[in-house]
Structure 1
Amino acid sequence: MTPLKSNDPDNGGSQTLERGLALLAELSRHAEGLNTSQAATATGLHRSVTHRLLVSLHRTGFAARDKEGRYTIGPAVAGLLGGSGPSLRTVAEPILNRLARRLDATASLVEAVGTAAVTTVVAEPPTDGPLFWYRTGSRDPLDHGSGGLATLASGAPRTNEPDRVQAIREAGYVITHGEVNVGAHGIAAPLPGWPVRAAINVVTSDPEIAERAIAHVMEAVAAIGVPGDHL
C-alpha cells in the first residue's frame, strides 16, 4: 500500500479518521492478522501511530486481537454490512431457542472478541431444573472451555493455538468437563464462514444431556449455515 501522506489543511477532513480507515482496509486484506509492526509497514504509518489506532479499533470492536498480538477485522465490521443478508446473531437466535428447548439446557452463540470468547446470544429452556446461567456479554477464555475452543476452530489455523483446536476442526465439535465452570459439561461446535469467529455452545450439569446434545448441536450448525445461505 502507498504510504499515507499528511493532509493538506486547506482540504479539511480528518487525518486520524483517514489513517484509521486505511488501517482497517489493510487488516481486511490479511485474514491471518497483522501485528503492529507489520501493520505499520503495510500502511506506511509510524509504529506509535499505528499502535494507537489499533488500540482504538480494538476497543470499539472494529479490530480483534489474539494473544500473539495479531489484529484482524473485528465483529463490529459485520454490523456495517447492510444489505448483505441477516447477521449471524439474527440467524442464530431462533435456532438456539429451539436447541435449548429440545435439550432442556442453556444454548448460546459465542464470538471471538480480542482474546475472549464473548456470549452474544443466549437461549434458556422453559425448565424448573438447575441451569448454568449465561448472560449476554459474558466473557470466557478462548484457549479453554468448549465455547472458546470451538470459536478458535471456526477460523483458519494459527500459530501457537492449542493443539486440540485442529482436532475440533476435523471433528466438528468439542465436549469439555468443568474447564470454565465446576460441574459444567460444555458441548460446542464451530461456525465457519462468517465474518467473525463464532460457535454454538451448550452448557449443562447433566452428562447424559451432554452426550445426546452432539447430534442436535450439529443439526443447529447446519441450520445456521453460512452467510450466502440467507441472502
Structure 2
Amino acid sequence: MASPDSNPTGARAAGTQTLARGLRALELVADSANGMTIQDVADELGVHRSIATRLLATVAEFRLINRGPDGRYRVAGGLAALAREVYAGLREQATPAMRRLANQLGASVALFVAEADDAVAVAVVEPTSTNVRLSFRQGGRHPLDCGAAGYALLAALPAQPAENPRVTEGRRRGYVITFGEVEPGFWGLGVPLTRAAGEPAACLTLISASQDLIESAPDAVLKVAAELSSYSM
C-alpha cells in the first residue's frame, strides 16, 4: 500500500485535516473564558490526547496560545497582535466618529462585521461621561440570528427566502431595534453599512438600558453609518 508521502492527494488531505484541527483548537482556546486543558481539546475534537498535545504545542510555537502553570492553554500575545491588524483600517477610521456618537447620545457604540454565522465586534467605544455603561469586549461575538447587530448584518446582505421578518423590516427601514436578545435588560439599535463588493457585511450598533434613548437615536446613528459606509477595509 502506498504511503501518504508517495500519494500527493492523500498528503494534501492529511495536511488539510491537521490544519483544520489546529485552527479549531485555537478557536476553542480563544473562546474559553478559563482556558482549556489538553484533554478538554481532545474531547472537543474527538481525537486522542497525543494528537491534541501536538496540535496545541504547534499553535503555541507561534505564540498564539500559552500553557499556564495550571496546565490550561489560554490565548497569548501573538494572537492579540494578530487580532489588532484585522479590520485595522476600518476600525481606525471609524473610531473617531463612533466616539462622537457615544458621547453625543451617552451610550455604548460598537462596530460589528459578519464572520461565517457570527456577528463579531471589531471596535467598541463607550461614552466618557455617563452613570450607566455596558462594556462590550472587542472581538466578542454572538450568532447572526439574534440581536440588533445580527439582524442589521443580515439586512446588509441580499434578501433570502423565508428570512426573519425583523431582517426584512430592517432592510426596508435602514435600522433594527431589539430588546434583551443578547444582553438581558438592554436595548440595541443596529444600522447596516453599505460595503464595497467583496467586503464583509458591517453594521453600527448602539446599546443602552434606555428604551427612550434607543427609540430617539435612529437619525443620529444613520448619519454616522452613512459616514462610515464610505470607508474601505
Band the TM-score falls in, shorter-chain normalisation: 0.5 to 0.7
Paired residues, number: 165
Cα pair distance change 1:131/1:227, threshold 3 Å: closer
**What amino acid is the match of 1:161?**
E
Bigger Rg, structure 1 or 2: 2
Cα pair distance change 1:165/1:128, threshold 3 Å: closer
In 2: Cα distance, 1:175 partner to 1:212 partner: 11
Cα pair distance change 1:87/1:177, threshold 3 Å: same
Counterpart residue number, 1:157:
159
Structure 2 residues without counterparts, runs of 5 or longer: 1-5, 28-81
Which residue of the other structure, out of 193, 198, 204, is the alignment partner of 1:200?
Answer: 204
Q: How does 1:6-155 map to 2 (within 5 A)?
A: 52=17, 87-155=89-157
Which residue of the other structure, out of 211, 214, 217, is the alignment partner of 1:210?
Answer: 214
| 8 Å CA contact 2:106, 2:130 repeated in 1 | no
Cα pair distance change 1:220/1:102, threshold 3 Å: same
**What amino acid is the match of 1:197?**
A
| 8 Å CA contact 1:155, 1:192 repeated in 2 | no
Counterpart residue number, 1:5:
none
Three-state SS of the structure 2 residue aligned to 1:130 is coil
Q: Comparing both structures, which one devotes a greater share of its residues to helix?
A: 2
TM-score, normalization by structure 2: 0.61
In 1: Cα distance, 2:172 partner to 2:19 partner: 33
RMSD: 3.2
Counterpart residue number, 1:219:
223
Matched-pair identity in %:
31
- 1:160 CA displacement: 5.1
- 1:163 CA displacement: 2.9
Cα pair distance change 1:80/1:114, threshold 3 Å: closer
In 1: Cα distance, 2:93 partner to 2:174 partner: 20
TM-score, normalization by structure 1: 0.61
Is 1:181–2:186 an aligned residue pair?
no
Three-state SS of the structure 1 residue aligned to 2:157 is coil
